[in-house]
Structure formats: structure tokens, C-alpha cells
């Protein structure tokens, strides 16, 4: 296990739909890279979007559940 396993990914806050860049690592929650994400949620729940989700469609669909 090394810290090299972490990767950059795009994540979206499920609370306010703010999109930011985050570090992801196996077995860990996504952590926002920048402190200035525009998300002011007390408990931001970042959901990682894979590249296909982000770049495969022109608009994000709201989560359905």
C-alpha cells in the first residue's frame, strides 16, 4: 500500500451538487483537493464521477435516489 494509489477524480457533492476535483484512493472517501470547492455543506458527501459520466454526456443528470 502506497500513497501513489490515490488518483484525481471529479466528484460532486450530493447535498448541493457542487462539482470539484478530489483525491480518491482505494478504501477511502473522496477528499477535495482544494479547500475552495464552493461547497458549504456541514457534511459534504462527495460522490465520485467517473470520466465517462463526466465527459460522456453534456449535462449532469440529478441523482435519482
Establish if 12 lies at the interface with Zn ion (CB under 5 A). no
Beta bridge partners of 23: 8, 31
Establish if 11 lies at the interface with Zn ion (CB under 5 A). no
- Cα 49 to Cα 56: distance, rounded to the nearest angstrom: 11
Q: Are 12 and 19 in contact (CB under 8 A)?
A: yes
Choice between 1 and 61, CB closer to Zn ion = 61
CB of 34 to Zn ion, least distance (A): 14
Interface residue list for Zn ion (CB under 5 A): 13, 15-16, 18, 39, 41, 44
Amino acid at each position: 500500500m502506497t500513497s501513489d494509489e490515490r488518483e484525481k477524480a471529479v466528484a460532486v457533492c450530493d447535498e448541493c451538487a457542487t462539482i470539484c476535483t478530489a483525491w480518491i484512493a482505494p478504501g477511502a472517501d473522496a477528499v477535495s483537493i482544494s479547500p475552495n470547492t464552493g461547497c458549504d455543506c456541514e457534511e459534504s458527501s462527495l460522490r465520485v464521477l467517473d470520466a465517462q459520466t463526466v465527459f460522456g454526456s453534456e449535462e449532469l443528470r440529478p441523482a435519482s435516489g
